[in-house]
Structure 1
Amino acid sequence: MIKTVMIDGKEVPFKVSASFPLVYKANFNTDILTLILPLLSEILEGLGDEAIVDGKVVITPLALSEMLKNVYSLEYVDIMNLFWTLAKCADDSIPEPIKWFGQFDEFPMVDIGKEVFPMLFNSLISKKKLGNLATTKKKAANK
């Protein structure tokens, strides 16, 4: 799954694939699950029913704001490493993170996250499980 995002006047492709965890581990010497699982847990706690449409996570600015209120486990550099890895999966020729980020005068993390995170989350959680989560939340709200 590839998503191209305009950043500082440049088209930047991001890709989620099966190699994503391997690229992350090879470059940052840690398993991506140590970052992703707490992040997913915290985000799912703040995920409203309106953020799941037809079994896919749809992130609106309001939904992102609500989700990020629950995220305490991340450092800014964690998100940067995540974005770099997704970009590296799309284009193996990009340089090391410091040089790659250095080419941008602006790198609006929240705007990029709105574009990239749904793709990442949709690749990690099956549509069936997302549908079950939405149903469970609706049932709990109706009680």
Structure 2
Amino acid sequence: MEKTVMIDGKQVQFKSNGATPLKYKMQFRKDFFAEILKLHKLGKLKNLDEIDDDVLGTLDFEVFYNIAWTFAKTADSSLPDPETWLESFNEFPIFDFISELQEMIMANIQSKKK
């Protein structure tokens, strides 16, 4: 699955495939699927007005940055390390494009079996 998202005036290509969880583990030394579960509450948010202190206390935004980088790295293997990549943006407004990546995240954990 592939998506292109506008971030800070740049077209950013994101891609997910069967190797995405392995890429994530190789880079961050954490299990991709366990980390996705940490985003559970984030996926329910529609805008910044819905964030309260209880929700904020349970979110680990590093997980989102890591997943976004992994999807981008899967689309473009020439990307630099996560910190260098993120520094290339003046702004990285997570809530502006989380819904764009949500489908890709869910595609990695949902079964197609009925």
TM-score bin, normalised by smaller chain: 0.7 to 0.9
Unaligned runs of 5+ in 2: none
Runs of 4+ in 1 over 2 A off after TM superposition: 37-40, 69-74, 126-129
State TM-score, norm by structure 1. Answer: 0.65
1:88-122, CA deviations, whole angstroms, 9 ceiling, x for partnerless residues?
11111000011100010011101121111122213
CA distance in 1, matches of 2:5, 2:112: 24
RMSD (CA atoms) = 2.7
Unaligned runs of 5+ in 1: 47-58, 130-143
CA distance in 2, matches of 1:127, 1:71: 32
Cα deviation, residue 39, structure 1:
3.5
Partner AA of 1:31 in structure 2? D
Instruction: Indicate yes or no: 2:102 matched with 1:117.
Output: yes
Q: 1:107 aligns with which of 81, 89, 92?
A: 92
Cα deviation, residue 75, structure 1:
1.2
Counting matched residue pairs gives 110
Partner AA of 2:99 in structure 1? K
Q: Is the 8 A contact 1:39 1:71 kept in 2?
A: no
Q: Indicate the structure (1 or 2) with the bigger Cα radius of gyration.
A: 1
Alignment of 1:1-143 (within 5 A): 1-40=1-40, 42=41, 61=46, 73-126=58-111
Equivalent position SS for 1:105: coil
Q: Is the 8 A contact 2:16 2:74 kept in 1?
A: yes
